């Protein structure tokens, strides 16, 4: 006899620069438990608030597992990650440099395999396994927020690449004379289309002079009130994203593009100029078949994608995804 409580579940982790989320997800993609906490201070002190937050969240999630069996642990983490060694060095968590995240998680939860992928790859896996990209084989998923990240599915499989960083649409160059990018280069999509890049450009052009605390949310509010500069900031961002998407589609023969992340809450402002610019640039027949959607899973895409790594490793666990077999304590 089987009941749904006989089905194994996945313990899932999503580590970002501002928040860490931990959940339990079953094989049908249903979230059984989830909880989030702050990633913590930006210092490099030994107390490591990010790990303390994560360890506390893992502890509480394990407390709700009960008699159910854990199929594995899926971990999505802000990059860069090292999928060979299972270490992470997230740009916004300075205390974690070559941090052995897989080993530490495995030590806390022995006897269960651990899978690690970048956050963009996890978002893409999530939207493909349970979200809006479910029926597409060649998809680019873009996460527009403080930065611009993404993940790529080719032939129905996650393509994380040699180092786990494939799909990094934010650092596709779209303006060879453009602004500096946080990556150290310049003219990248992220240097124009991230939330901070949009507000920086708008402020430089006179938007909300003297209001240094204004964010991309304020920019969206003003754009909906027909503020010319705010509208132009969204048009520039949409155009930069479109240029990156056209280039990627030409290279990878994509059929579908999904836009998610915090800025996708302003999809009404972003998608129209994005699609218009896409149509202007994409003239070859195979490029014109592109379908655009906003992400369906919202802020849980990372956790759902981490569960996809556990339940469907053939599809979502290829090169660029770290897989550590279960290590049983002696």
Question: Closest CB to Zn ion among 92 and 255?
Answer: 92
181 binds Zn ion (CB under 5 A): yes
The length of the chain, given as a count of residues: 330
- Whose Cβ is closer to Zn ion: residue 110's or residue 185's? 185
Candidate ranges 79-87, 140-148, 163-171, 303-311; the one touching Zn ion (CB under 5 A):
163-171
Q: List the one residue from 185, 228, 253, 286 that touches Zn ion (CB under 5 A).
A: 185
Nearer to Zn ion, 182 or 298 (CB): 182
Beta carbon of residue 197, minimum distance to Zn ion (angstroms, whole number): 10
Structure-token match 């994560």, residue found? 54
CB contact at 8 A, 255 and 289:
yes
235 binds Zn ion (CB under 5 A): no
Cβ proximity of 83 and 160 under 8 Å: yes
112/192 with CB nearer Zn ion: 192
Q: How far is CA 294 from CA 132, 148, 172, 193, in A?
A: 8, 15, 21, 16
Least distance in angstroms from the C-beta of 176 to Zn ion: 13
Q: Is the peptide bond before 80 cis (omega within 30 degrees of 0)?
A: yes
Q: Is 172 in the site for Zn ion (CB under 5 A)?
A: no
Q: Is 173 in the site for Zn ion (CB under 5 A)?
A: no
Rank residues 16 and 149 by Cβ distance to Zn ion and give the closer one.
149
Binding to Zn ion by residue 322, rule CB under 5 A?
Answer: no
From candidates 128, 168, 171, 236, binder to Zn ion by CB under 5 A: 171
The residue range among 187-195, 203-211, 219-227, 246-254 that interacts with Zn ion, by the rule CB under 5 A, is 187-195
H helix or E strand, kind and range, residue 116: strand 114-118
Classify the phi-psi angles of 117: left when phi > 0, otherwise alpha if psi is within -120 to 50, otherwise beta.
Answer: beta
Among residues 31, 32, 183, 250, the one that binds Zn ion under rule CB under 5 A: 183
Which one, of 190, 262, 259, lies nearest residue 219 by Cα?
262
CB of 203 to Zn ion, least distance (A): 20
CB closer to Zn ion, 73 vs 188: 188
Give strand pairing partners of 157.
154
* 243 lies in the binding site for Zn ion (CB under 5 A): no
Q: How far apart are CA 51 and CA 48, in angstroms?
A: 6
Cα(78)–Cα(24) distance, integer angstroms: 20
The phi, psi pair for 76, rounded to 5°, reads -110, 135
Number of residues that bind Zn ion (CB under 5 A): 5
Which of residues 173 and 326 has its CB atom nearest to Zn ion in the complex? 173
Using the rule CB under 5 A, give the single segment among 7-15, 82-90, 169-177, 313-321 that binds Zn ion.
169-177
Alpha helices in 175-283 (DSSP H): 190-193, 195-204, 216-224, 228-252, 267-281
Binding site for Zn ion (CB under 5 A): 171, 181, 183, 185, 188
């Amino acid at each position: 006899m089987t009941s749904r409580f006989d089905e194994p579940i996945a313990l899932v982790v999503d580590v970002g620069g501002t928040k860490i989320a931990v959940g339990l997800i079953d094989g049908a993609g249903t979230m059984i438990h989830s909880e989030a906490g702050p990633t913590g201070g930006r210092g490099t002190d030994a107390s490591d608030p990010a790990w303390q937050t994560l360890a506390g969240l893992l502890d509480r999630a394990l407390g709700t597992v009960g008699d159910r069996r854990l199929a594995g642990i899926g971990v999505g983490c802000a990059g860069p990650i090292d999928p060979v060694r299972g270490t992470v060095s997230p740009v916004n968590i300075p205390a974690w440099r070559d941090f052995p995240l897989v080993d530490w998680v495995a030590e806390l939860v022995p006897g269960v395999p651990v899978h690690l992928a970048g956050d963009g790859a996890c978002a893409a896996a999530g939207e493909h396994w349970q979200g809006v990209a479910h029926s597409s084989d060649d998809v680019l998923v873009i996460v527009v927020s403080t930065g611009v990240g993404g993940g790529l599915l080719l032939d129905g499989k996650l393509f994380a690449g040699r180092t786990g960083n494939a799909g990094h649409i934010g650092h596709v160059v779209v303006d060879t004379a453009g602004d500096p990018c946080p990556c150290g280069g310049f003219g990248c999509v992220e240097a124009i289309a991230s939330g901070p890049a949009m507000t920086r450009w708008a402020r430089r052009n006179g938007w909300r002079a003297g209001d240094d605390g204004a964010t991309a949310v304020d920019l969206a509010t003003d754009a909906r009130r027909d503020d010319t500069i705010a509208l132009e900031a969204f048009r520039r961002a949409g155009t930069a994203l479109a240029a990156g998407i056209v280039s990627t589609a030409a290279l990878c023969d994509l059929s579908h593009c999904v836009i998610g992340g915090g800025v996708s809450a302003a999809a009404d402002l972003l998608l129209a100029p994005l699609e218009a610019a896409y149509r202007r640039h994409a003239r070859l027949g195979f490029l014109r078949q592109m379908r655009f959607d906003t992400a369906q899973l919202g802020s849980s895409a990372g956790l759902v994608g981490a569960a996809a790594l556990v339940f469907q490793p053939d599809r979502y666990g290829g090169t660029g995804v770290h897989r550590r077999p279960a290590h049983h304590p002696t």
